Amino acid sequence: MPNYKPLNDYVLVKPITEDETTKAGIILPDTVDKEKPEKGEIVAVGEGKLLDNGQRAQISVKIGDKVVFKKYAPDEIPGEEDLMMIKEEDIMAVIE
């Protein structure tokens, strides 16, 4: 896998997929529901958004953070099924 360094206010996220369990105890693997993931772990961050005054805004997440993001916000990286690029503004929360 190549190394990716996000630019500006982009972050690189590895999606977290969770198997679902029915009331009867049957585990449905994530392949049953092909919905886009909404959770992930940050694996790389950019330098921050470049502001009009030439300064960079600080990124509010760090490598290793588990986050919740908007469902259709991520851009998939061609050939990399387990990585997505997301703008920081599309991250809604850090999971603690």
**Residue whose structure tokens are 């992930």:** 40
Q: Are strands 39-45 and 27-28 parallel, antiparallel or unpaired?
A: unpaired
Nearest to 8 by CA among 93, 72, 83, 88: 88
- Count of structural domains within the chain: 1
For the segment 37-83, what is each residue's pLDDT rounded down to a tens digit? 689 999 999 999 989 998 999 999 999 999 999 888 888 888 887 89
The pTM (predicted TM-score) of the whole model is: 0.76
Q: Tell me, what's the pLDDT at 30? A: 55
% of the chain at pLDDT higher than 70 = 77
d(CA 56, CA 89): 15
Domain assignment of residue 32, given as a range: 10-95
84: domain CATH number is 2.30.33.40
Q: Tell me, what's the pLDDT at 32? A: 47
Is position 1 within any domain? no
